[in-house]
Every structure is written in structure tokens, then in C-alpha cells.
Amino acid sequence: MTDKDPCVACVKTEAETLSTPGYDGVHQKCPRCGDFKITGSALAVMNGGVGEKIRAKLSGWIRDQNRAGTTPEINSYTYKNIISRPIPSVADRAARLLIEAAHGQTELGARFNIGESRFLAATYSSNENDLFFLMRLLEQRGLIEHQAMGGIADISPDGYIELDNILRHPSGSLQGFIAMWFDSSLDNAYVDGFQKGVMDAGYNPIRIDRVEHINRIDDEIIAQINASRFVVADFTGHRGGVYFEAGYALGMDLPVFWTCRKDHLSELHFDIRQFNCIDWETPQELSERLSKRIEAVLGKGVQ
């Protein structure tokens, strides 16, 4: 059962509010932001007043997560993390507009309408003026062609070539793929360790069992690793899939951050022992060390 209410993230768009019995928060599907959940504690923090730029960050982050295949939950921690990040660079926002324009196209040359609210979120734009500035930038570079006053446009042939380069070489990706054992004993380690550590470094964590998709699981794993800036490989439990995913990332020349809980370290395969592995005992220790190492190697995840 659903109702229509103002979106709690962007406030300017009417969203579907989904019934979630027992959930202390709100689950909405917004045409601008996308599909997301937000906890009661995060809503309480937002009650103090949220400006346009912060709402643009929230909308952009939600849509990024949706494009990666997840329905994100904003809690008080993730909210503070999201709003502390700077808005992406103008070049990156223009690239995001191009990617969003191609999303859902079934044929080359299909037109899109820049007036659709999803473009505001995809480009981290506070208002239509920001969006049309990015549109003009792409027009001047010959990557899109504006067709009509109503916002109808299409991607030019040069735009498709540029889009292929962007998607093939996602050097600006903020996604970090986490390969680990999906055992309930590691749930706290994921939330308070891996997830927090990756987010503290300024990146978005992706774990394949939390991604909604209809592909074969191995195809989806490869696709998500290809779309990532780096891989975190945790060998607690010594799962074969983690070894495979780390090896594939190395073959793709992606940075791999090696981790293992101390009580499993002695069983680490000899091929992995040559790498500098974070041996952790508590989620807090894991979070702090992982965040520092990611930042030391890649820098803070801002664009």
C-alpha cells in the first residue's frame, strides 16, 4: 500500500510512501531521487533545517546507489557522511548528465527530456539553472544536441564515443566493491567496519548480496567490480569467491585492500601472504585502519 507525500530527501517532488510496518522510518520512491529508506533518527537530524545544496547531495547519493543496484538506507551516520562531502566537480557532473541521458535507451539516437527531475539528482544540481548550465557545456563540446525549447535533446555521435570512454574507464568512480564471507557472524563487521571505513574514506560501499539485479550472479559480480574504483577483499572464512574476486580485480589493475580477522589469519593462502593485509579484531579497528589505508592509497573520495 502506498501514499503520495512530499519527498523527505528533496522536498520538491511528490513521492510514493511505501507502507513498512515495524520500520522506524520512511520508505519512499521519488521520481527525482529514486528508491530509498530513511530512519527516524536521520529525519530527526534533518528537522533542524536542510538547504538546497544538502538536499542535492542527498538526491545525488540516492540515485548513485540506485544506479549501482541498491536501495539505500539513510541513517544518522550516513546522513552526516553524505552532507560532509563536496559537490562533484563540474566536469564530473556533466559526465553524469550524459550517463543519465543514455540510461534506459533502447536504440541509438533516442531522445531524452532534460526536464525530467531525475537529471537534477543525477547531476547533484540544486535547481534547473545548474542543470541547464551543464546542458550548455555538453552542447558546446558537441556531445549533445538540443532539439526543442521544451528540453528535448539527444546524444550526438561524438557523445556516444565519449560515453563509451567514461563507462569503460571509470577512474572517477566512488564505488568500492566489498568481497567477503556473507555469514551472519560478520554482519556487525560489515556495518561498523567495512561499510563505515569505506564511507569514512569518501566512497560508496557495494556488497553483491545487497544488490538487486536479474543477471547471473557471476556476471553481476564482474559488472560491479568493473564499475568500482577499488576492491576490499576480506579473507575471514577463506571463501573461494573472495579469492576469485580479488584475483579478477588485480587482473583489471584495480587497487585491492586486503583484510582478514586475526583468528583466521594463520589459514591465509600463501599466495596472499605477500600482500600487506589489515589484520583486525574489532569492527572499530577495521573501520579506522581501512579508512586510513584507502585514503593513503587513493586519497579522499571526492571529485
Structural domain count, the chain: 3
CB atoms within 10 A of CB 182: 14
Is residue 211's pLDDT more than 60? no
CATH code, domain carrying 193: 3.40.50.450
**pLDDT interval class at 260 (50, 70, 90):** very high
303 inside domain: no
| More confident position, 230 or 104 | 230
**206 occurs within a structural domain:** yes
For the residues of 64-80, what is the DSSP string, one character each? HHHHTT---EE-HHHHH
Q: How far is CA 222 from the centre of its chain?
A: 16
Look up residue 193 and give its three cell numbers: 567496519
Q: Is the pLDDT of residue 146 over 80?
A: no
Shared domain check, 187 and 132? no
Q: What is the 3-state secondary structure (H, E, C) of 4-55?
A: EEECCCCCCCEEEEECCCCCCEEEEEECCCEEEEEEHHHHHHHCCCCCHHHH
Q: What is the pLDDT of residues 39-63, one digit of tens each?
A: 999 999 887 678 889 999 999 989 9
Last residue of a domain, one of 108, 136, 168: 168
Split at pLDDT 50, 70, 90, the class of 223 is confident
Say if 207 falls within a structural domain.
Answer: yes
Share of the chain above pLDDT 90, in %: 38
My answer on whether 187 and 287 are in the same domain is yes
Give the pLDDT score at 28: 92
Neighbours of 185 (CB within 10 A): 10
Report whether pLDDT(155) > 80. Answer: yes
Task: Mark whether 179 and 148 lie in a shared domain.
Answer: no
Domain of residue 51, residue span: 2-84
Ranges of beta strands (E only) in 105-194 are 111-113, 144-146, 152-155, 175-179
Which of 122, 137, 168 lies at the terminal end of a domain, its last residue? 168
Distance CA 25, CA 39 (A): 4
Residue 188: how many CA atoms within 13 Å on its side-chain side? Answer: 7
Please tell me the distance from the alpha carbon of residue 161 to that of residue 72, in angstroms, as a whole number: 31
| CATH assignment of the domain containing 141 | 1.10.10.10
Given 100, 135, 168, the domain boundary residue is 168
The answer, yes or no, to whether residue 213 has pLDDT greater than 60, is no
Residue 212 has what pLDDT?
Answer: 45
